[in-house]
Amino acid sequence: MITGLAALQDFFFPQRCLACSRMAYGGIQLCADCLRVMPRCDKCCRRCGLPLTSTETAASCGRCLQHAPAFDGLFAAYWYEGIPRKLITALKYSADLHYIPTLMRLFEACSPEIDENSVFIPVPCHAARIRQRGFNPNHEYLRALARRYPIHCDYKLLRRQRNTQKQVTLNHSERRHNVHDAFVLNHPCDYPVVNLFDDVVTSAATVQEISRCLKAAGVQQVWVWSLARTRLATNRS
Ligand SMILES: [Zn+2]
Ligand SMILES: [Zn+2]
């Protein structure tokens, strides 16, 4: 539904769709056609976020029942394909931060309720990569979320102590090895529940390693929140 404020914004500041450049309305920079084809994650395991088979339940898929991940659940708004993939990649590689409000509005629209006794932390980049790119996308996404919701964020709880290779270039077991012991806590965590934000989850090796690290430091629950998740079950760690 278009609110009064959004209608005024449409009138005075008409916007173009970030995906197809046609006019976009309702205070969000995606046109109605592009919004309609956004690949929402549904029928997926609440624990690992991967698609379920017809005999599996949403609580846990067969893989999670056999070998549960270190995190307690994974929420992803969209599958990492089509328009979400296009926008997330454009932001990451062109450093064009004006994609963030639209991506986070989409994320908010389908995310679950936030536990008020929890804290959000971004998956960190190594300092060398931040120098090269100029920013950590996960940090910027969380800042955008924190501007609209009263969430607690700790941007410095976690540090990437090794500059790991890009996960996208590696296979399943190389990814796990690549991130092993890559993260450390800068200070003790004051919250029993941590929400770990990662823009894209592919193999889940990174969020698995961070969850292991947080739980070893006394965190009771870790929930992974992600803009987009790959569907490939073979990529899971
Ligand atoms: Zn469009
Ligand atoms: Zn699962």
> How big is the CA angle at 173 (ends 168 and 178), to the nearest 5 degrees?
60
Provide the residues around ligand 2 (an ion) whose CB is within 5 A.
Answer: 45, 47-48, 61, 64
Residue 86's pLDDT is 94
Residue 27's pLDDT is 76
Residue 237's pLDDT is 39
Closest C-alpha among 235, 154, 164, 159 to residue 202 = 235
- Ligand that lies nearest to the alpha carbon of residue 38, given by its number in the listed order: 1
Q: Is residue 31 domain-resident?
A: yes
155 and 219 in a single domain? The answer is yes
Neighbours of 108 (CB within 10 A): 13
Q: Is residue 4 domain-resident?
A: no
Domain count, the chain: 2
118 and 15 in a single domain? The answer is no
108 and 23 in a single domain? The answer is no
Q: How far is the CA of 14 from the centre of ligand 1 (A)?
A: 14
For 26, 96, 113, the CA distances from 34, given in Å and listed in that order, are 13, 20, 26
Q: Which ranges in the chain belong to alpha helices (H)?
A: 4-12, 32-36, 62-66, 82-94, 100-110, 127-133, 137-148, 172-179, 205-216
- Ligand that lies nearest to the alpha carbon of residue 65, given by its number in the listed order: 2
191 and 137 in a single domain? The answer is yes
Provide the residues around ligand 1 (an ion) whose CB is within 5 A.
Answer: 17, 19-20, 31, 34
Q: Is residue 1 domain-resident?
A: no
Digit-by-digit pLDDT tens for the chain (237 residues) are 456 666 666 666 678 999 999 999 887 899 999 999 999 998 999 999 999 988 888 788 999 999 999 999 999 999 999 999 999 999 888 888 888 999 998 898 888 888 888 999 999 988 788 888 888 999 999 999 999 888 999 999 999 887 766 766 767 777 777 777 889 999 999 999 999 999 999 989 999 999 999 999 999 999 999 999 998 754 443
105 and 128 in a single domain? The answer is yes
Q: How far is the CA of 188 from the centre of ligand 1 (A)?
A: 45
How far is residue 19's CA from residue 200's CA, in Å, rounded to a whole number? 18
Q: Is residue 2 domain-resident?
A: no
Q: How far is the CA of 60 from the centre of ligand 1 (A)?
A: 35
Q: Is residue 71 domain-resident?
A: yes
Q: Is residue 3 domain-resident?
A: no
The helix (H) or strand (E) run that includes residue 150 is none
30 and 121 in a single domain? The answer is no
231 and 213 in a single domain? The answer is yes
Residue 182's pLDDT is 85
32 and 71 in a single domain? The answer is no
The domain of 153 spans 39-235
Residue 97's pLDDT is 86
128 and 219 in a single domain? The answer is yes
22 and 81 in a single domain? The answer is no
CATH classification of the domain holding 173:
3.40.50
18 and 122 in a single domain? The answer is no
Q: Do 208 and 70 meet the contact criterion of CB atoms below 8 Å apart?
A: yes
137 and 59 in a single domain? The answer is yes
